[in-house]
Amino acid sequence: MTRWEQLSNYLMDGMLEIDNNKIENVIRPVALGRKNYLFAGSHEAAQRAAMSYSFFAMCKKEEVNPQQWLKYVFDQIMDTNIQKIQQLLPKNYKLSLIKNQPK
């Protein structure tokens, strides 16, 4: 009863959900991956696997085809200055696709 006000906040604001199932479902692959990293063979291999998961999660979030993005990265990485490496991230790749679309 001492937390009734906090518990019933979702009733006052229609934007609030009664539970967090949506976010739980979104982060489930991350949690499963974290468990799988224990069996990656080495700490360095686990870090590489985690980075791969992160990049593909960014592709999913930005609605970018991961295969097309990887091809773009492999084609561009040798010509990209290390100071501008963030231009190869999925978000920036998507922006470049939008900018280069015919009008």
> Any residues with CB less than 8 A from the CB of 58 and at least 6 apart, and which?
64, 89, 90, 91
For 13: left if phi > 0, alpha if psi spans -120 to 50, otherwise beta; the answer is beta
Per-residue pLDDT reduced to its tens digit, 33-75? 777 777 788 888 888 888 888 898 899 899 999 999 999 999 9
Residue the block writes with tokens 């999925």: 90
Q: HSE, CB side, 13 Å, CA atoms: give it for residue 33.
A: 17
pLDDT for 71-90, tens place per residue? Answer: 999 999 999 999 999 999 99
Q: Whole domain around residue 80: which residue ranges?
A: 3-100
0.85 cut: is pTM over it? no
Instruction: Count CA atoms within 13 Å of residue 15 on its CB side.
Output: 0
Into how many domains does the chain fold? Answer: 1
